[in-house]
């Protein structure tokens, strides 16, 4: 019963979030105004470099993961690793987090490596993303703290909600340290200690890569491509407000935080965060009310749609290539 409930929560909650937010967004926009914006206020040529840059982010992620795999003695060529990354994002569109299981299983079977060992490198790969989002959030708070505090529902001088969030993060970190060093025989504590230990060991595997500097370079390139693609997408629209690098950074960080909400490919939370971010700068009103600003809505829906279409194309390509490889190798 517990396992069934866990699966329902794991796979059903993201779908529910996407459906609820998707319906809310669908009924909160003026489609006539959005169509007019898409016809008159968008230069679609900008999306070509955006998509190329986005492909680059996935390639660099594959190359970074290849470094981690080599650190545990799994010497997989770059092409299969990159294909596994393409497939990961494609599968996650339909069943969140199942893509990670797929790529770990594919590499472990291909190289006859223990699943748990390869899984640890995937965990550290994802933990790096969490760290980067945290650092970018802190950077954005330093550069545009007033807008970020508005997002957290606090006045610029107070920041009550933000301090609560920081306090919860500190408490969580303290609890993780206590669990890691705990010697309690309690079953629940022992299970949680196992999770914390596994995550920590996966993260520390980064220290064993052959070139830590190359690992850091790939990390910067991954997130540079993420932000670079987003910045290029902004140039495609004729906004009535100035959307410079700092504004784009705020929007990018808010959308990254939105991706932390369990959903299918970010559908719902990503768009809502973008629309909310534009409203912070006057393109829309706060609190958000129907109908949303048509340009903000058009940007959120078009950019997410194109990125999703790219993931579908890359995912289908990668699964075909993986199938051909398996057939040629008789597996």
Name which residue leads in pLDDT, 263 or 164.
263
Checking if the pLDDT of 257 tops 70, the result is yes
Checking if the pLDDT of 155 tops 50, the result is no
- pLDDT given at position 15: 66
Q: What does the mean pLDDT of the chain come to?
A: 84
Mean pLDDT of 285-301: 87
12 — pLDDT class (breaks 50, 70, 90): low
Element (H, E) at 45: none
Query: Could you tell me how far CA 127 lies from the centroid of its own chain?
Result: 11
198 — pLDDT class (breaks 50, 70, 90): low
Mean pLDDT of 116-136: 87
Checking if the pLDDT of 288 tops 90, the result is no
Residues of the chain above pLDDT 90, percent: 44
- pLDDT given at position 251: 94
The C-alpha atoms of residue 4 and residue 225 are separated, in whole angstroms, by: 39
Listed range (118-122, 215-219, 241-245, 317-321) with the worst mean pLDDT: 118-122
Name which residue leads in pLDDT, 233 or 286.
233
Checking if the pLDDT of 159 tops 60, the result is no
202 — pLDDT class (breaks 50, 70, 90): low
Give tens-digit pLDDT for 86-106. 999 999 988 888 899 999 999
- pLDDT given at position 56: 97
- pLDDT given at position 21: 73
- pLDDT given at position 203: 65
The C-alpha atoms of residue 69 and residue 114 are separated, in whole angstroms, by: 12
What are the CB-based long-range contacts (under 8 Å, 24+) for 78-86? Answer: 79/321, 80/106, 80/107, 80/110, 80/322, 80/325, 81/107, 82/58, 83/318, 83/321, 83/322, 84/318, 84/322, 85/58, 85/59, 85/61, 86/58, 86/311, 86/314, 86/315, 86/317, 86/318
Which residues lie closer than 8 Å to 307 by C-beta, 6 or more apart?
54
- pLDDT given at position 232: 97
Checking if the pLDDT of 249 tops 80, the result is yes
154 — pLDDT class (breaks 50, 70, 90): very low
What are the CB-based long-range contacts (under 8 Å, 24+) for 54-57? Answer: 54/225, 54/226, 54/229, 54/307, 54/310, 55/310, 55/314, 56/221, 56/225, 57/221, 57/222, 57/223, 57/225, 57/226, 57/229
Residues of the chain above pLDDT 70, percent: 83
Checking if the pLDDT of 151 tops 70, the result is no
Q: Judge if the upstream peptide bond of residue 291 is cis by omega within 30 degrees of 0.
A: yes
Checking if the pLDDT of 287 tops 60, the result is yes
Checking if the pLDDT of 5 tops 60, the result is no
DSSP conformation class of 42: B
End-to-end CA distance of the chain: give it in Å, rounded. Answer: 35
Residue 270 · residue 167 · CB < 8 Å: no
Mean pLDDT of 302-330: 92
Determine the Cα angle at 100 with ends 94 and 105, to 5°.
Answer: 115
330 — pLDDT class (breaks 50, 70, 90): low
Mean pLDDT of 107-123: 87
Residue 252 · residue 244 · CB < 8 Å: no
Listed range (4-8, 25-29, 130-134) with the worst mean pLDDT: 4-8
Checking if the pLDDT of 205 tops 70, the result is no
Checking if the pLDDT of 8 tops 60, the result is no
């Amino acid at each position: 019963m517990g396992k069934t409930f866990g699966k329902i929560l794991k796979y059903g909650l993201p779908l529910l979030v996407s459906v609820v937010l998707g319906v809310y967004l669908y009924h909160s926009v003026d489609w006539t105004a959005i169509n007019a914006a898409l016809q008159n206020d968008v230069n679609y040529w900008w999306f070509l470099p955006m998509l190329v840059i986005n492909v680059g982010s996935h390639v660099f992620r594959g190359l970074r993961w290849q470094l981690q795999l080599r650190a545990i003695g799994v010497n997989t060529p770059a092409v299969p690793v990159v294909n596994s990354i393409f497939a990961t994002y494609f599968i996650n569109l339909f069943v969140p987090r199942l893509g990670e299981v797929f790529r770990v299983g594919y590499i472990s079977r291909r190289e006859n490596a223990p699943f748990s060992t390869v899984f640890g490198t995937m965990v550290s790969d994802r933990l790096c993303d969490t760290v980067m989002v945290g650092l970018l959030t802190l950077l954005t708070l330093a550069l545009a703290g007033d807008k970020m505090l508005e997002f957290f529902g606090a006045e610029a001088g107070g920041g009550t909600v933000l301090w609560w969030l920081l306090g919860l993060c500190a408490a969580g970190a303290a609890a993780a340290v206590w669990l890691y060093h705990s010697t309690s025989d309690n079953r629940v504590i022992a299970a949680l200690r196992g999770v914390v230990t596994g995550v920590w060991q996966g993260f520390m595997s980064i220290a064993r890569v052959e070139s830590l500097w190359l690992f850091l370079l790939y990390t910067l390139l991954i997130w540079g491509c993420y932000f670079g693609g987003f910045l290029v997408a902004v140039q495609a629209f004729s906004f009535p407000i100035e959307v410079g690098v700092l504004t784009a950074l705020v929007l990018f960080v808010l959308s990254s935080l939105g991706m932390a909400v369990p959903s299918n490919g970010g559908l719902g939370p990503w768009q809502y965060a973008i629309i909310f971010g534009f409203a912070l700068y006057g393109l829309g009103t706060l609190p958000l009310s129907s109908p949303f600003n048509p340009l903000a809505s058009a940007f959120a829906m078009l950019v997410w749609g194109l990125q999703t279409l790219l993931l579908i194309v890359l995912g289908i390509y990668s699964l075909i290539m993986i199938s051909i490889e398996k057939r040629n190798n008789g597996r």
